[in-house]
Amino acid sequence: MLSKIKKTLIGLLSPKVQAPTRKPVEKNKTSEKSVYHPKPKSIHVQKAINLPKLHIVPESAGKVRFTDFKLDERILLGLQIAKIKYCTDVQKETIPHLLQGKDISVKAQTGTGKTAVFLVSIFQYLIETPLKTRSPGFCRVLIIAPTRELVMQIASDASVLGKYCNFNNLAVYGGIDYNKQLTALKKPIDILIGTPGRLLDYASKKALNLSKTEIFVIDEADRMLDMGFIPDVSTIERKLPGTNRRRTMLFSATLSDRILFLINRWQKNPVKIEIEVASNVPTPIEQLFYSVTGDNKVSFLLWLMEKHKMEKILIFVNTKEQTFKIQKALAKNKIESRVLSSDIVQKKRIKTLSDFKSGKALVIIATDVASRGIHVDDVTHVINYDIPERADDYIHRIGRTGRAGRNGVSISFVCEYGSYSIPEIEKVLGYEIKCAQPEPNMYK
């Protein structure tokens, strides 16, 4: 019996039936099916990933495709994700100059696609000029915007369009964890996006070094001027390399004498591009004006919302106190709404904007400060519950609808106080405003 067991064990251990063993994988060799790419030292160099298929954009008469430019495939894939195929006027006029490395100053309204202008050109530059070594607290690109909401929107767009580019982007602004942003600055940054106050704060504490920044972008320079941020921006600009050693892009809805003065200070021989929109209004937007007394605004608003198909609505007021009054009135009529104003904590504002984009929130009541950061393509109606005091604020408000080629409707309530702003708005629009009188049955 023992000899039989012994023979069996010998047979099992025989080389003829021994289980095959795997050959050790050599570290420096790769197989055809699985390729190992070491992490690049330059953090914006593309990692090894399986890129999706790039679809061919068909030619269209009178239109310029992004594929017509010499852009990296990863950028085109980001545009494909965002469903951006053809250039807007500002994009087709501006991108060729940026790809040539020139400074630009652009006059264009919001909603014309200018964010994609500077992001696409920045991405291409970073891909073409990788750095082997990086230092913490430095950024290659600095983008300044006047409001937290706009900073968040630019950062969101950069995340979508640059999905396959492996950039390290960071947005800094007030209202959220200061130390968390401070910790993030300890890494090398490709694209830093921020409000003037927060950027200046970090720079003054030596947490941010701008001496090696290669591209400087000022978005909505006119609003920066209106909000009194130019002294802060000027201080930041002086911390950057000189105009001979950096590129500067400036975008503004207007090119006033003060903006032109800043262009001469901050830029070197910039290409000036002005995109004129018919009647200075983003198209296609239907504008309606109604003569409504202050006491009747709420009841007329309720009637409009009940009788008209309004899928996603932005209601603008002139004061933050008004936002809560309207929200309360809508709630009494079982209409859910959200508020965007300076009184709302930042986390809640971020959540509100996110829900509005996703469709979880369909009615937003906002002040003008908040309007600069709302970039949602499918807003069907903008309601000016209060007429803004400034004509350019009116243009910016209604520019929240009719975006990305969609139709939009703007409805303005002209009361005894708002009528004083009409002449200035007429001057910007280029025609006389005719106010309709609501019928007695058009109140709820």
Please write the tens of the pLDDT for every residue from 107-127: 987 778 899 999 999 999 999
Determine the length of the chain: 444
Cβ(199)–Cβ(236) below 8 Å: yes
Mean pLDDT: which of 21-25, 153-157, 211-215, 253-257 is highest?
211-215
- Say which amino acid occupies 75: I
User: What's the mean per-residue pLDDT of the chain?
Assistant: 85
pLDDT score at 393: 84
Q: Average pLDDT in the 172-193 region?
A: 92
pLDDT score at 31: 36
Q: Average pLDDT in the 162-171 region?
A: 95
Nearest to 371 by CA among 358, 385, 360: 385
The DSSP bridge partners found for residue 383 are 315, 411
pLDDT score at 37: 33
Cβ(202)–Cβ(172) below 8 Å: yes
pLDDT score at 327: 95
Q: Average pLDDT in the 348-364 region?
A: 88
Q: Which domains does the chain have, with CATH numbers?
A: 66-276 (3.40.50.300), 279-429 (3.40.50.300)
Residue with tokens 């000029």: 129
Does the pLDDT at position 42 exceed 50? Answer: no
pLDDT score at 19: 41
Does the pLDDT at position 207 exceed 80? Answer: yes
Cβ(164)–Cβ(72) below 8 Å: no
d(CA 116, CA 121) in angstroms, rounded, equals: 8
Compare 237 and 15 and report the one with higher pLDDT.
Answer: 237
pLDDT band at 341 (very low <50, low <70, confident <90, very high): confident
Q: Average pLDDT in the 375-389 region?
A: 90
pTM value is 0.71
pLDDT score at 36: 31
Residues near 410 by Cβ (< 8 Å), separated by ≥ 6? 285, 286, 287, 288, 381, 382, 383, 384, 397, 398, 401
- Tell how strand 271-274 and strand 408-414 pair up: unpaired
φ and ψ at residue 80, rounded to 5 degrees = -65, -40
Alpha carbon of 276 to those of 90, 249, 255, 405, 430: distances in Å? 10, 19, 12, 17, 13
pLDDT band at 190 (very low <50, low <70, confident <90, very high): very high
Please write the tens of the pLDDT for every residue from 144-160: 999 888 899 899 999 99
Mean pLDDT: which of 141-155, 236-250, 277-291 is highest?
236-250
pLDDT score at 255: 85
Q: Average pLDDT in the 434-440 region?
A: 91
